[in-house]
Amino acid sequence: MPSAHFGLKLLASDLITAARRAVFNTPHGQIETPNFMPVGTQATVKALTSDQLHELGVSILLANTYHLYLRPGSDLIAQAGGLHSFMNWDRPILTDSGGFQIFSLASTLKLDKDGVSFASIIDGSRHRWTPEDNMHVQNQLGADIIMQLDECPPYPAEREQIANAVRRSANWASRCRAAQTNPKQALFAINQGGVYTDLRQESIARLLEHDAESSGFEGFAIGGYSVGEPHAVMIESLAEVAQALPTDRPRYLMGVGNPTSLLRCIALGIDLFDCVLPTRTARMGSAFSSQGRLNLRNSRFARDLDALDEDCSCSTCSNYSRAYLRHLVMSKEILASVLLSMHNLHYLLQLMHHCQSAIAEGRYAAFLADWLNSPAANDY
């Protein structure tokens, strides 16, 4: 069985869809699901402080093992007391294994059955990770939830390449489980298989076989989506994947943050999400809104003294006009990234709260239908 420090408690299920509301316990607090995790790749959510993240109600954030291993180094972070102390964050943290980053740099890697060798994006130095090495690094970082090292093929990729990645990733999941012995860290296995439904199912079968043979995984992630495949293809195959995963553990869809995609995937039974989209689009001068995405570089906002989104209660919308925000964007002021990042994250987190309420009241199907027929669903 998974570690006693972690556990998923199902609170409610929708009457029509597969949407569910739950609480996942960790040593640094509870995570109510469905939930969105802001991405703090370098142990910082870009442009925002820990106090601001608290103010927004962020309950869990993500950091990246590959980047932190390279700089400033997991040894230093361990010496500082782990990521929580290092970045002044007292709530749950999830670390991605870095597998996606390694395999996205295909020209620099050398893969074998025992591990992968790769080059640093910082100085070109060579490094090698086995699943056991990766678990050691994530143990040093000290996140509450850690990911297995997996092989994430690009899109598109040949079926044979994806099939090999499924089998290698399942084997590495077993090795990660054997190497990860810290009971205060939850280990999530990762489903792969690209857009091939049968390979996705094979991946699940292999992971569940290892799950039964070991102390068990505390959760299951779904990787290899949102890497360029058509959105409809992702949704179609994701439905079968979600329903084939255990119901007593979290289901985490990696790398998805588009508001409409989030709502569609929640209807399929997904619990957790992460994506750089809200903060990245903020730095590009764009904002989520009840009227769809707003590009503040557009000249129509130059003299618009209305709030960014009249339906939003965040501090940005309560205190600053569209004209002022556009002025900051066009002037390339740092404050533009701060204020728009706060708004975009508030928008997604409030959307998650609305989803939780709709599920608890058994009306998620109607909530989703209303969203899809609203202006908010535009431009995503």
Q: Which helix (H) or strand (E) holds 197?
A: helix 197-213
Q: How far is 46 from 135, CA to CA, in rounded Å?
A: 26
Cβ-defined contacts of 353-361 (< 8 Å, 24+): 355/19, 355/34, 355/263, 355/266, 356/21, 356/32, 356/33, 356/34, 358/14, 358/19, 359/12, 359/13, 359/14, 359/19, 359/20, 359/21, 359/34, 359/266, 360/11, 360/12, 360/21
| Residue 10 amino acid letter | L
Q: Omega before 2 cis (within 30°)? A: no
- Work out the number of other CB atoms within 10 angstroms of the CB of residue 23: 14
Residue 120: count other Cβ atoms within 10 Å of its Cβ. Answer: 15
The pair of three-digit structure tokens given for residue 310, joined into one six-digit string: 């009249």
Scanning the structure block, which residue is given the tokens 């939830």? 145
Collapsed DSSP state (helix, strand, coil) of residue 223? coil
Active-site option among 14, 150, 271, 274: 274
Coil, strand or helix: which one is 198? helix
CA distance 321 to 302: 10
Question: How far does Cα 41 stand from its chain's mean position?
Answer: 11
Q: How far apart are the first and last CA of the chain?
A: 40
Whether residue 306 lies in the annotated active site: no
- Evaluate whether 24 touches 250 at the Cβ level (below 8 Å): yes
Retrieve residue 320's tokens.
């600053």
Give the ranges where 89-149 is alpha helix by DSSP (H): 99-104, 131-141
Candidates 292, 239, 290, 298; CA nearest to 265 is 239
Catalytic residue among 96, 144, 150, 211: 96
Active site residue 96: yes
Q: Which residue numbers are catalytic? A: 96, 274
